[in-house]
Structure 1
Amino acid sequence: MEERLNRVRVVLVGTTHPGNIGSAARAMKAMGVTDLVLVAPERFPHADATALASGADDLLARARVVDDVAAAVSDCVWVVGTSARLRTHSVPVLGPDVAAGQALENAALGPVALVFGREHSGLTNTELDYCNAFVQIPTVADFSSLNLAGSVQVMTYALRMAALTGMDPGQASAAGEARDPLATQDEMEGLFRHFEQALTTIEVLDPDNPRNLMRRLRHLYMRAGLTGSEVRMLRGILTHTEKGR
């Protein structure tokens, strides 16, 4: 199970206060989750981050800083985004325990990511488009706002508990080896670009009035849990569709 925890990545997007990065790192290390990626933080490195990490300085030292969510999750086979509000997306909305269990199950097949949004505004719809599922922490109805580090603590604790009570690691490994590897997010993005190109070519998609066609297709295939070979099969079909045969 520790090996699978090592494949879980915490992604913090657009963090405003560097102290929240340090507190999140401390929460992660206490639960055995050590892969931290920061998307366009306003201030990092910073003394406040180091001070509030309280011994998790090694996570801060290894943390990767990237420009956008696409770069943060490109190699991941499953991505779950935290959101306090239901949006116009049709991917599953999970509780922390279920999300943690699915994250560890998919970690047998490759890296997975938990994506946390900005302190005041969360994740944008475009950033949520990269997610296979959303997770909502069941707070009281009239005060749903959790501190960023608090949200990270809840989710990493759920991961820890899932690891402690889950299936035998050997069984999980065998299950992972028995199936075709899941497509990475980078492979999925290639499929979506190919879909957009092919649908434009055959005049199903109007680039000047796309409506929600591509977003609905994204949701459909993100729910499906496609493998790498399935993505290649679909792209082969799209190639022949573009050629008109």
Structure 2
Amino acid sequence: MTPPDRIRIVLVGTQHPGNIGSAARAIKTMGLSRLVLVAPEKPLDIEAHALAAGADDVLSAAVHHASLADALADCRLVLGCTARSRRVALDELLPRDGAARAVAAAGDGAEVALVFGRERTGLSNDELQLCHAAVHIPANPEYSSLNLAAAVQVLSYELRLALLAAQPDDSGGAGRADPPASHAELEGFFGQLAGTLDAIDFHKGRAPDSAMRKLRRLFLRAELDVREVRLLRGILADADRMAMLAGQRR
């Protein structure tokens, strides 16, 4: 069973069958297939299949439950997609962070659910109590009304990105092909970078401390791996050599 097969999209108390069809289309376009319906107000109809736009297989395979607790019984991670103004104290995640957490759990063999509430009222506080964390889409605060299927599309897209990032690369390894650079390797690179900037007169008489602080922050944010540090140090070595040759010509 692959990680996408362990991730289910759960719609609770959906009022309009068309939204279920649109949600099915949204998840299928992002490589997901598991749709769970909890006590929808109306059965699936022609509109649902029309708006599914070819995702009829997802609709046909949708699992129905009478309660959210039943739908989540075998899950080890449950993320509730909701607005912020709730009285239930839950960790709040942005969609990208929630997707990363979901994919990591699914990669470890856990069953994962992303739960979406009713079109008008969302998830109740009792339903949120069943979730391990909340996912909040940072929409425009002056107009934050987001259609149910649109919200499903946003989260499904983030899940897609996280799943692609977790796939093995061409070299056969999972995730990064090379280990992250060690502290000593980074400090060696920074030392060489400082020397090269001096050699090419980058600072033009200005104190180098401010520029080096900014460059350190930039490269530390990039979370360089061992191979990337080697590449950058090779570039610096060539820059040093060219600076030396230019000095000799002068």
* TM band (smaller chain): 0.5 to 0.7
1:42 is paired with a residue of what secondary structure? coil
2:127 is paired with a residue of what secondary structure? helix
- For residues 163-178 of structure 1, what are the structure 2 equivalents within 5 Å? 163-166=163-166, 168=168
Structure 2 equivalent of residue 160 of structure 1? 160
Structure 1 equivalent of residue 54 of structure 2? 55
Name the CA distance, whole Å, in 1 between partners of 2:74 and 2:43: 24
Structure 1 equivalent of residue 15 of structure 2? 16
1:6 is paired with a residue of what secondary structure? helix
Equivalent residue letter for 2:116? F
Q: Which has the greater radius of gyration?
A: 2
Name the CA distance, whole Å, in 2 between partners of 1:149 and 1:56: 13
Q: Is the 8 A contact 1:39 1:67 kept in 2?
A: yes
Structure 2 equivalent of residue 133 of structure 1? 133
| Number of equivalent positions | 171
Quote how far apart the aligned CAs of 1:161 are: 0.7
Q: Is the 8 A contact 1:80 1:99 kept in 2?
A: yes
Deviations along 1:44-72, one digit per CA (max 9) or x if unpaired, are 22111111101000011100111111011
Deviations along 1:106-147, one digit per CA (max 9) or x if unpaired, are 112221000000000000000001100000001011111100
Greater Cα offset, 142-151 or 82-91? 82-91
Q: Is the 8 A contact 1:17 1:42 kept in 2?
A: yes
Deviations along 1:168-211, one digit per CA (max 9) or x if unpaired, are 49758xxxxxxxxxxxxxxxxxxxxxxxxxxxxxxxxxxxxxxx
- For residues 1-245 of structure 1, what are the structure 2 equivalents within 5 Å? 3-108=2-107, 109-166=109-166, 168=168
Equivalent residue letter for 1:138? P
Equivalent residue letter for 1:131? C
Higher relative contact order (CA 8 A, sep 6+): 1
> Which structure 2 segments of 5+ residues have no match?
176-250
Quote how far apart the aligned CAs of 1:163 are: 1.1
Name the CA distance, whole Å, in 2 between partners of 1:34 and 1:81: 19
Quote how far apart the aligned CAs of 1:86 are: 3.1
Name the CA distance, whole Å, in 2 between partners of 1:24 and 1:96: 17
Deviations along 1:9-31, one digit per CA (max 9) or x if unpaired, are 00000001100000000000000
Q: Is the 8 A contact 2:18 2:47 kept in 1?
A: yes
TM-score (norm 2): 0.66
Over the aligned positions, Cα root-mean-square deviation in angstroms equals 1.7
Greater Cα offset, 82-91 or 27-36? 82-91
Quote how far apart the aligned CAs of 1:167 are: 5.9
Equivalent residue letter for 1:145? S
Q: Is the 8 A contact 1:84 1:144 kept in 2?
A: no
Identical counterparts, % of pairs = 50
Name the CA distance, whole Å, in 2 between partners of 1:91 and 1:84: 12
Name the CA distance, whole Å, in 2 between partners of 1:33 and 1:67: 23
Name the CA distance, whole Å, in 1 between partners of 2:168 and 2:89: 32
1:100 is paired with a residue of what secondary structure? helix
Quote how far apart the aligned CAs of 1:85 are: 2.6
Q: Is the 8 A contact 1:70 1:130 kept in 2?
A: yes
